[in-house]
A and B are shown apart, each in its own frame.
Chain A
Amino acid sequence: MNGSDDARRAELLRLAGEVADATPVNWGGHSEALEDSDAGLEGLKLIERLETAHRELRGGVSGHGRAGEGMLFRWGALEAMEKLGEGSFGEVFRAFDPTLRREVALKLRRAGQGGDRRFLDEARRLARVAHPHVLHVHGADVHEGRAGLWTDLLRGRTLEEHLSAQVRLGAPEATLIGLDLCRALAAVHAAGLVHGDVKAANVMREEGGRIVLMDFGSVSEQSGSGAASHGTPLALAPEILEGAAPSPSTDVYALGVLLFRLVSGRYPVEAPDLPRLREEHRAGRRASLRDLRPDIPTAFVQVVEQALEKEPETRFMSAAGMEAALAATMHPAAPAAPRRRGALPMGLAAAALAAVIAVVVLRQLPRATPDTGSSAAVSALPRGGAATWSSRGGPGEAPKSGLTASAAVLSANPGTVAADTLDFSARLCRGGDGGEQFLAAGDEVHPGDHLYLKVRAARPVNVYVLNEDDHGSLYVLFPVSGSDQQNPVSPGELRRLPGRFQGQEQDWQVTSAGGRETFLVIASPRPLRAFEERLAALERSESGRMVAYAELRPSDLQALRGVGGMAPAALPTHVAPGSRLAGLAKEAREGAESPIRVRSFMLSNPGN
């Protein structure tokens, strides 16, 4: 069996798992390893219909509480359906929350083992952390004498399971995982907490590819009061072994250990027992990552080694510092500015303004000059990446004067000189009681703002609008089903996107504050089929529904591997090189048979 057969089989198994779980299957979002006409794919679709029909006949229409299984017991408002695991701490169940009508994971302590108060305190602290890469704790309580907490229900494999399958990752993939975990730790630390047990077994890679830091059994307040650590000794920072309290720096160390293991399969410092482990640390004996993996980039090795420094003060100052260093390993040519939430560096904002004035109607330019019309900074959208469709707030048809965003103009066909004119223009606008406002660099948006895009083209054009939030989560904002505007968008008149839904104009609404957002607008005279397939894997906005966090699937990670370090000059400079959006922009350009326009709007949403 060759690699593509393996990939096809793996993808079929993934989809079959979803059918078996009775979760909605995104049939359009399968990986390229599967042909649309694949016999297995067709068969699975039939089986999904069979499964649904059987489930409905059993009366389990809601997708939970499968007949023949029944509810095991009730704990408070939750219905425990299936035991998922058990350990010294207690038990974990798949449970159903009838109020919110969704499945959750319920972690129950054994009755009468004491320490319930500490457990509940811990859960309350965890509930403070809301981050896409941190397991979300919904609540904690005591019922029937048993303390418990409930969280998102994750399906996937832990990184430990990946490691035990003898999988050693390449640096690009480990870097992407490391970036997600740095962001997760930054959120945990920002809440005044320390995770305390960052290790492969506590990181889940969901079936959708999302990396989630979980199991906060060792979490402690950053009080510095010498709380005992329960972490795995081999992943513990040396100062912990000497009795120091867990700190953000010890989490950074543990993440270094995890990255070391992901690429090498080994711990940096190994010993058969605690005394000898201390001894190894004191003597500074550590396996050399370079020796174990001579093939991986030096920049990556350096980041891991700095995280593993014996002295806390010589490690990265924070998870955010490590994130910036990791990001820089992907683009050695482009010095990475650390991403700081809520504040756009002044220089960048000024450059963006200059660019805004430069270009309004996009015309194809030779590739040699793509950066001149680079960035447009506007401001908008949510920290948690939550955008909803909502009905339009105001009339908003009184355009004010003023140029708006800038454009990065790129050719799909390097070397061609500007012969073709698509004459495509796009303006990001804000509607509301005050009428319509074109958004320009430096503008701020706030929760509740309604945004939309006005486009005009000289001939039929296929438009794709994507949004990447501060966490690297991607959403497809257009095309979207249900809208009267569909690709190709008709030429001539000014068109407003996302369009009308059941006769009513809809906008994108800013639903939360904080962070930075990038909009990517791609226009092509022909549909970008390969690109559309890729988009199918991303979360789509829908009318009236929160756009949930979405990640690329593992198969997409493969495709993105090449993003790190590749020709950053070809990217619009304000799309963070190496970001997923940049990867998609690149794919769109490369997959296009005809000239396309790529334009992006970088927005900041500092909150109040």
Chain B
Amino acid sequence: MESTLSLLELLRSGNLRARDRLIERYLPILHSWAHGRLPSRARSLSDTEDLVQITLLRALDHLEEFEVRREGAFLAYLRRILMNAIRDELRRSANSPHREEVTEAIPDRQASLLDEAIGRETMETYEAALSRLPEETQEAVIMRIEFGYSYDQIADALGKPTANAARMTVARALVQLAEAMRERLG
């Protein structure tokens, strides 16, 4: 299988097949990721698909903004711009006329599935703690925890020699994250 980095190189040189391959590879995992983070009002299948597809296409069209170092960094980059797109979506929905319809009975149409599952405060703590970690540490966390990459894939994406080395990197990253989260929660 061609590596993400080589596909990105090809795309920079104008190879449109490489663009298709990247979309094929990243669209499904970003879609599933975004589904858990969109608020309920924007969670319909078509809304999610639109948002993810537009974001991914934009990212690929503005590759010059992204310095290619390793695959893990590319995934983190996609995640970041998708996260921004979701936040924009949240702001938009908060300001939309629909807001008046929100009643006490359904207090939190802004909540995502993940907010519902683990609580918004924990999610916010997680995001804040994550953003303070070194880049490679962040990448190890999101690849394993959020995207469910195998250790083999993580080894490739982070340039680790073996799957076991990748597993150790992830474990160390989780310990760092855990301590940072707990600090924030006090």
Contact = CB atoms under 8 A, between A and B. Distances in A.
Q: How large is the interface on B (under 10, 10 to 19, 20 to 34, 35 or more residues)?
A: 35 or more
Contact of A47 (B29, B147, B172, B174): B174
A66 interface: yes
Q: How large is the interface on A (under 10, 10 to 19, 20 to 34, 35 or more residues)?
A: 35 or more
Contacts of A57: 32, 35-36, 113-114, 117
A67 B29 CA distance: 8
B65 interface: no
A41 B29 CA distance: 30
A102 interface: no
Interface in B127-186: 144-153, 163, 167-168, 170-172, 174-175, 177-183, 185
List the 5 closest A-B pairs by CB distance, nearest first.
A43-B178, A66-B148, A39-B182, A16-B174, A69-B150
Given A43-B180, A46-B185, 7 more contacts: A16-B172, A43-B181, A47-B177, A50-B126, A66-B150, A82-B152, A83-B152
A9 B172 CA distance: 9
Contacts, number: 117
A206 to B, nearest CB: 14
Contacts of B144: 20
A375 to B, nearest CB: 45
A59 B31 CA distance: 13
Nearest to A155: B167
A58 B37 CA distance: 12
Pick the most buried of B114, B175, B183: most chain A CB atoms within 10 A of its CB. Answer: B175
A87 to B, nearest CB: 13
Contacts of B105: none
B153 A12 contact: no
A43 B182 contact: yes
A41 B181 CA distance: 11
Contact of B145 (A40, A51, A83): A51
B102 interface: no
Contacts of A47: 126, 145, 174, 177-178, 181
A266 interface: no
23 contacts: A16-B175, A17-B170, A20-B145, A20-B167, A39-B178, A40-B178, A42-B178, A42-B182, A42-B185, A43-B178, A43-B180, A43-B181, A43-B182, A47-B174, A50-B122, A53-B118, A54-B36, A56-B117, A57-B32, A68-B29, A68-B149, A69-B150, A82-B163
Interface string A1-16: 0000000010011101
Contacts of B147: 67-68
Contacts of A60: 148
